[in-house]
Amino acid sequence: MDSITQMALGASIAGAVAGKTLGRTALITGAALGTLPDLDVVLDYGSAVANFTQHRGFTHSLFVLIPLAIVLAWGLWRWRPALGFQRWLALTMLVLITHPILDSFTTYGTQLFWPLGGPIALNSIFIIDPLYTLPLLAGCLAFLLRPPATGAIAAGLVLSSLYLGWTLFAQQVISDRIQPALTEAGLQESRVLIQPMPFNTVLWRATALTEHDHVEIVTGFFDGNTPLNLEYFPRRPDLAQAVAEFPEAQRLEWFTRGFLDYRVAGNQITATDIRLGIPGAHPFTFVLAQQNGDALHPVNSSQKPRPPLDPQALGLLWARLTGEAPVICLADLATPAPGQSC
Write out pLDDT tens, residues 2-46: 999 999 999 999 999 999 999 999 999 999 999 999 999 999 999
Mean pLDDT of the chain: 94
**Short-list 11, 252, 235, 49, CA closest to 138:** 11
Q: Is residue 319 part of a domain?
A: no
- What are φ and ψ of residue 327, in 5° steps? -140, 140
| Span of 110-124, 144-158, 222-236 with lowest mean pLDDT | 222-236
Q: Is residue 268 part of a domain?
A: no
Q: Is residue 32 part of a domain?
A: yes
Q: Is residue 249 part of a domain?
A: no
Q: Is the pLDDT of residue 315 over 90?
A: no
- Which domain does 17 fall in, by range? 3-168
Q: Is residue 173 part of a domain?
A: no
Q: According to the model, what pLDDT value does residue 317 have?
A: 84
- What are φ and ψ of residue 215, in 5° steps? -115, 135
pLDDT class of 274 with cuts at 50, 70, 90: very high
Q: Is residue 342 part of a domain?
A: no
| Span of 51-65, 93-107, 171-185, 293-307 with lowest mean pLDDT | 293-307
Q: Is the pLDDT of residue 166 over 90?
A: yes
Q: Is the pLDDT of residue 312 over 90?
A: no
Q: Is the pLDDT of residue 75 over 90?
A: yes
Burial of 175 (0-12, 13-18, 19+ CB in 10 A): middle
Count CB-CB contacts under 10 A for residue 162. 10
Q: Is residue 338 part of a domain?
A: no
Q: Is residue 314 part of a domain?
A: no
What is the SS3 assignment for 149?
coil
If one counts the domains in the chain, the total is 1
